[in-house]
Amino acid sequence: MKKIILFLMLVLPVVIFASGESGAEHGTDIIPRTINFVIFAGIIYYLAAKPIKDFFVGRSSSIADQLNSIQEKLKASNKEKEDAKELVAKAKVSAKSIIKTTQQEIELQKAKISEDLKVELGNMDKSFDDHCEIEKRKMTREVITEILDVVFEEGNLSLEKDELLNIVMKKVA
């Protein structure tokens, strides 16, 4: 079919223009120009249609491929986003668990430190009481020694046990 149309396009102008210059005598040459234009357009279409069509088909397919590639990247990034959201949710749960455990450990450490402090304070009180008792005994001995030294230095003083005990008790108190 294309061959017939091509043949007619090539032969028809020759036949029409071979008849003479009848169109030029009357002053209108629109018909031959129109036929020439149609023939020229047909030749251009015949020569350029397939490359142009192939260009646009290739361009369409490359755009479709790019669109598919972009959609795949979008799906992958959406999946990564969802995975990241899941990780964040897990991290929040883990953080809450860690905070709870830390607070429990803090409470245990507070209780332990409090107990250790009570024991240490008890030990310090006991040590202080023991030290005070030792100092009292030491002072009592010194006072008794001092009183006895004074009494025995005078030598002429005769005291009985009750009086000596009474003097010592007054001095100690």
- What confidence score (pLDDT) does residue 29 get? 84
Count other Cβ atoms within 10 Å, centred on residue 157.
10
Give SS3 for 146.
helix
Query: Does residue 158 carry a pLDDT above 70?
Result: no
In angstroms, what CA-CA distances link 100 with 93, 111, 151? 11, 17, 75
- Going by pLDDT thresholds of 50, 70 and 90, the confidence category of residue 142 is confident
- What confidence score (pLDDT) does residue 141 get? 85
Query: Does residue 22 carry a pLDDT above 70?
Result: no
Nearest Cα to 143, choosing from 133, 135, 153? Answer: 135
- pLDDT (tens digit, 9 = 90+) per residue, 87-113? 999 999 999 999 999 999 999 999 999
Q: How far apart are CA 15 and CA 8, in angstroms?
A: 10
Query: Does residue 6 carry a pLDDT above 90?
Result: no
Give SS3 for 19.
coil
Query: Does residue 20 carry a pLDDT above 70?
Result: no
- Give the CA diameter of the chain: 187
Q: How far apart are CA 70 and CA 72, in angstroms?
A: 5
- What confidence score (pLDDT) does residue 9 get? 72
Q: Give me the torsion for CA of 155, 137, 166, 161, rounded to 10°.
A: -50
The mean pLDDT of the chain is: 84
How much is the pTM? 0.41
Which amino acid does the sequence have at 113? I
Query: Does residue 144 carry a pLDDT above 90?
Result: no
- pLDDT (tens digit, 9 = 90+) per residue, 51-89? 999 999 999 999 999 999 999 999 999 999 999 999 999
Q: Which contacts (CB < 8 Å, 24+ apart) does range 162-165 have?
A: none
